[in-house]
Structure formats: structure tokens, C-alpha cells
Copies of this chain bind each other. A is one copy, B any other.
Amino acid sequence: MEKTKEKDAENMKQVNFQEAMEFWAKPERIVLVTSTDAEGQPQVMTVGWKMRTSFQPPMLAISVGVKRNMHKCIMESKEFVIAVPGAELAKGTLLCGISSPEKIDRFKQGGLITKPGNFVSSPLIENCIANFECKLAADLPTGDHTIFVGEVVASWINETPSKNLLIIGEDGGTELLAAQGPYRIGVLR
């Protein structure tokens, strides 16, 4: 055991954050976030930094760059929608992450079909797998991003099945390695 420990210790290397994040970041599920600007116009962006953060009340958190237009929209409108895109929206999701919202209509060019929310003025995306209407519950500055915590006031699913989009690496395939109850833990093959 001590030998393994020494061997493993030798294997460890201190590196810069970005290099180490390569081992953290894939696969990463991605979502679309909509909100509304001061003129009442809907805006949308692709977000990779998001997590659940409460069972009761149901809450979701996203992290948005302080310089993003979306940052201003959420700070002002105090609401947002998180939509989970499926396979059909792969190109649209990429577009909403890399295009300039000043230059193109992301909704139109991304093939996003919108529908008014029931409890927020920001649009749902009909052709997504799931949508979560969120009221801003808290915002927390963290370096060059802000964490926005949304209390989920309505949840929607699409009855046409699809599969979650992911940021993926070069690997493919998953392998189940351990399971208990509802928990299935594995790796990309």
C-alpha cells in the first residue's frame, strides 16, 4: 500500500488551472438560457456552467460572464428560462454560444421556436427537451462571472423524445462501472 502511495504521489503534477480543467470539463451538458432585455426583446445564449442547487424549493444556478448582454438582461428582468436542447438543436446550440447576438438573430438562425412562459416574460423554447421558468432568487459575483440562482416556478417537458446535448471529447461510448438504486456511475468508453 505504501508503495502504491509513493507511486501515485510521483504521478501527481501541479499544473495551471486551465490545463487541469481539461480533465474536468468533458463531457459537459449544455443548456440554452433566455431572458429579456430592457426593450422587451428576448435574448438567448448557450451556457455550460450550470448546476442544481436546491430540492425544496427547486432551484437551478447558472454562471454568466459579467460582460455578456445576458448578464444585464437577467439583472434587470430578474428572471430567466433554462431550456435543455436535444440532438435536433446541435447546430443552433453551437450558434448561440459562438455567434454575436448583435449581428444575427440567434432564435431564427438557430432554429429556436419560442413560446411565452406562463410565469415569466422570457420565452420558452418549444423545440427543446425541457424548459424551466426561473425567478431570480439571488445573484453572487464570482470573479469575471456572476452566479444567478433561479427558483423554478414552472417546468416543462417535450413529449417528443430527444437526447441531451453534451460538450464531448474525442472519446465515445459509456461503460457502467458501479450501480445502486437509481444511481448509475460509469465512464465514456
Contacts and interface: CB of A to CB of B under 8 A. Distances in A.
Interface of A: 4-5, 8-9, 11-21, 23-31, 48-59, 61, 63, 84, 86-87, 90-91, 93-94, 97-98, 113, 115, 118, 124, 126-127, 129-132, 137-138, 140, 142-145, 147, 149, 151-152, 154-160, 163-181, 183-189
Contact of A185 (B18, B144, B145, B168): B168
A157 B63 contact: no
A24 B173 contact: no
A20 B174 contact: no
A145 B90 CA distance: 32
Nearest to A170: B184
B14 A154 contact: yes
B147 A149 contact: yes
A53 B124 contact: no
A142 B94 CA distance: 30
Given A14-B118, A165-B185, 16 more contacts: A12-B156, A12-B158, A15-B156, A20-B156, A23-B164, A24-B130, A26-B164, A50-B51, A52-B63, A54-B143, A61-B142, A90-B186, A164-B188, A165-B187, A166-B186, A172-B175
Contact of A184 (B118, B152, B169): B169
B149 A174 contact: no
